[in-house]
């Protein structure tokens, strides 16, 4: 009940700002998110950073065909949780816990730290860095720190999203589907309450259209 109350409080707070969904998600296919929408979805993000991230984020949304309110809202919610509303572009932990994780492709000494979580989706593991690099034509396995840069980080996040076929789930617009998205990103339901609160906020800002 406490989680539901938190979500409701968030939605009411967003509504009180006078944000009209149709105004904040533009269907021209060029710049789907407005600066106001990004700041409303991520209230802890500074104005300066929001302005700096808007162009590459919109470019990534276009590249990944995340051009409906439902897709964008689910995407923003998950990135918002993983990156602390785009404030953390590299995992705070050392990454040592990922050492020898063969399921992540970490087979060489030091892979855990070298391929720790980076970017707004917190890409983790040598196998994921290799796959993302191959798909995007970037040397991410050789230079994993590139994932923590803004332009590359957003492109990697969209690649990860589409490689897990998450837009089809976002299109359903249901809580069950959103929780499946969380499972495919996280491997479990860690931070589910925060992810779902951010999803409610993003939907209040962008609308819930397909």
Among 36, 82, 91, 99, the one annotated catalytic: 82
Q: Which residue, among 14, 87, 83, has the nearest Cα to 46 in the 3D structure?
A: 87
The helix/strand/coil state of 123 is: strand
Q: How many CB atoms lie within 10 A of CB 145?
A: 11
If you write DSSP's letter for every residue of 110-172 in order, what string do you get?
THHHHT--BTTTTB-SHHHHHHHHHHHT--TTT-GGGGGSHHHHHHHHHHHHHHTTHHHHHHH
Q: How far is CA 159 from the centre of its chain?
A: 11
CA distance 129 to 105: 9
Q: How many CB atoms lie within 10 A of CB 194?
A: 15
Positions of E strands within the chain: none
Q: How many CB atoms lie within 10 A of CB 210?
A: 11
Tell me, yes or no, if 63 is annotated catalytic: no
Instruction: Give catalytic residue positions.
Output: 82
């Amino acid at each position: 009940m406490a989680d539901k109350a938190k979500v409701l409080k968030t939605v009411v707070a967003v509504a009180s700002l006078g944000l009209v969904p149709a105004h904040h998600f533009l269907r021209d296919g060029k710049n789907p998110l407005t600066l106001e929408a990004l700041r409303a979805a991520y209230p802890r993000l500074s104005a300066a950073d929001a302005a700096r991230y808007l162009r590459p984020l919109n470019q990534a949304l276009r590249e990944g065909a995340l051009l409906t309110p439902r897709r964008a809202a689910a995407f923003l919610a998950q990135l918002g949780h993983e990156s602390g509303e785009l404030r953390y572009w590299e995992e705070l932990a050392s990454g040592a816990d990922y050492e020898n994780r063969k399921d992540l492709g970490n087979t060489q000494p030091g892979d855990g730290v070298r391929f720790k979580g980076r970017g707004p989706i917190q890409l983790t593991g040598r196998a994921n860095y290799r796959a993302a690099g191959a798909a995007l034509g970037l040397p991410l396995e050789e230079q994993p720190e590139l994932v923590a840069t803004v332009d590359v980080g957003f492109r990697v996040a969209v690649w990860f999203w589409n490689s897990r076929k998450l837009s089809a789930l976002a299109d359903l617009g249901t809580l069950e589907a959103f929780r499946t998205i969380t499972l495919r990103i996280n491997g479990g339901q860690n931070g589910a309450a925060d992810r779902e609160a951010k999803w409610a906020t993003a939907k209040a800002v962008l609308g819930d259209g397909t």
